[in-house]
A and B are shown apart, each in its own frame.
Chain A
Amino acid sequence: SQQGEEDPQALSIQEGENATMNCSYKTSINNLQWYRQNSGRGLVHLILIRSNEREKHSGRLRVTLDTSKKSSSLLITASRAADTASYFCATDAGGTYKYIFGTGTRLKVLA
């Protein structure tokens, strides 16, 4: 099964609203990352948060990490139509060389 599971699977909001996506994982990690994928394209890295960090910001993005609950959340504030994409979390599976991706959240921002 997937190391990461995103929730919700799909999210539709109006432009200007905030979007929150959650990710849960199963094993210990060194870091957790969030990626964005526009339809039919490669993934683009958004933010990396290490296991000893609790919160991280990058522009309109805010990521939190709760290692005790093995969960993370991605908040996109003041969403724009251009934020429409799929968002994935990925973990380093306990410090191994491989990254395990979740199933993704499909975000649609309506203008």
Chain B
Amino acid sequence: EPEVTQTPSHQVTQMGQEVILRCVPISNHLYFYWYRQILGQKVEFLVSFYNNEISEKSEIFDDQFSVERPDGSNFTLKIRSTKLEDSAMYFCASSLGGDSSSYEQYFGPGTRLTVT
């Protein structure tokens, strides 16, 4: 069964460093998303991406964040200068889109980002 994959599973970085989190969405999906979950809090939407551009972003997704689909399979989230409060689980998701049943989003296993 197709699944969303994410690498690395755990990333430790120092404050101020750049990190890139990688995702491979399900191959025929057209919509891609990043969410995060700070420990003990809700899963929060960060950004959605469709047709090679950002379609929506949250207030969290400031200028320190960027997303890219560098090729036909990968979808990346870059944090340019990490802060302590960026420590969280980051989930990538994808959906097929097109009709109501295809808006179900399928999530990857997550990358735990720890900023020290």
- Does A pair with B? no
